[in-house]
Amino acid sequence: MTLIKSISGIRGTIGGNTGDNLTPVDAVKFAAAYGTFIKNKNSEKETIKIVIGRDARISGKMISGLVSDTLIGLGIDVIDLGLSTTPTVEITVPIENADGGIILTASHNPKQWNALKLLNEKGEFLSGQDGEKILEIAEKEDFNFAEVDDLGVYRKKKNYIKKHIKEVLKLPLVDKKAIKKAKFKVVVDGVNSTGGIAIPALLKALNVKCIELYCEPNGEFPHNPEPLKEHLTDISKLVVKKKADLGIVVDPDVDRLALICEDGSMFGEEYTLVACADYVLSKNKGGNTVSNLSSSRALRDITEIHGGTYTASAVGEVNVVQMMKDTNTVIGGEGNGGIIYPESHYGRDSLVGVALFLSHLANKKISCKKLRESYPSYFMSKNKIQLTPQIDVDKILATMADKYKNEDVNTIDGVKIDFAQEWIHLRKSNTEPIIRIYTEAKSQEKADDLAKRFIKEIKEII
């Protein structure tokens, strides 16, 4: 059982001991710290508003109630979207002119997990500096609750997924006519969370025939909710059985998008962003892109084909977003299927991703499989080395950076070494003594071999 406190929020497993797990006491404590931070930041305001929303996991209603009542106790007004998605809460914050937002979701983690993901007044994830301030407030328990006449007001608003869909349909590059003309048939795996509400509704609005699989938002995840190949056998079979054009898979909070080709094969999470970027860049006649250091080189290749510039950021959505702003990026995201399209908002959004991808496929007038085959083919390997707490991980990474200093080395987040035909990214975990090892090459064998080589080299240092 685990409780992880970080600058982006708090997540953990439900039940167990206070301070070791995400118990009701921990949820209240962290909600109070965030609410206090927002109050301090807006001390001149008479009324402070925070938007909350949750995915469908079983503990969601309980955690939502605790968080909501804590904020009310601080004198903060709460706008509760109920069952929602991460991107829906993100777009709601500025629409409601709120001062922040909390998304109650553990994203792709199994059902025993939950979390508080924290937003600023723009509906974007907090900066590291702000996150540190909240951790300090929580540690000191420096809370100042409101007196009875100053308690916050609670309001429930249920229609924001519909509003979110309308905002997606307004985007100029969402080609509604082409999608309707294509007469797509799509299978959707909503992993029994809020994607089962949002994605079918979006497809209906786009005149796409939708076959639902695991779209009942009851929080009983029918498989591991991380949208990886080994967890998606059911939808792969159903796509083939129903002779669908493609399959769409989202994680429980709908900020990661994976696609299945018509033959049941994986389009590849890394290539969700590549395809959407290809479409946006083609319509935009070029432009810049950003993904994190652990994402596929294919995005760089496609960007350069369109005459744009690709930049890699440190891992983490807040880092990707900041780099996107710094480089005036037209589209970016993460290789885990996270699409960030500034024309909509600065957050990973599977609804936007679905609409852009279907627009691209409809314009290309080719199959999903053919589209995937049109992109540069890379293969990734993901490994890790378990270390003892006494080992100096930073020293190991510095040694590796120095050893390969004549190569293209990036040290903004661990050590990434770019070779001519392949790359390796070494990152230390912030929560456990582990070095994560990501490699990419032109074949799976070469990616695996590169990882094995560096694991051997690191063990020789230890």
pLDDT the model gives residue 15: 92
Tens digit of each residue's pLDDT (9 = 90 or more) over 69-94: 999 999 999 999 999 999 999 999 99
- The residues annotated as belonging to the active site are 107
Q: What percent of the chain has pLDDT over 70?
A: 100
Domains of the chain: 3-158 (3.40.120.10), 163-373 (3.40.120.10), 379-461 (3.30.310.50)
Q: Minimal CA–CA distance to 294: which of 459, 447, 432?
A: 447
Residue ranges in the chain whose pLDDT is less than 50: none
pLDDT the model gives residue 1: 53
pLDDT the model gives residue 431: 66
Angle between helices 160-170 and 350-364 (to 10 degrees): 40
In this prediction the pTM is: 0.95
Tens digit of each residue's pLDDT (9 = 90 or more) over 100-124: 999 999 999 999 999 999 999 999 9
pLDDT the model gives residue 5: 85
pLDDT the model gives residue 31: 98
- Tokens representing 132 are 């540190």
Answer yes or no: are the C-beta atoms of 90 and 118 closer than 8 Å.
Answer: no
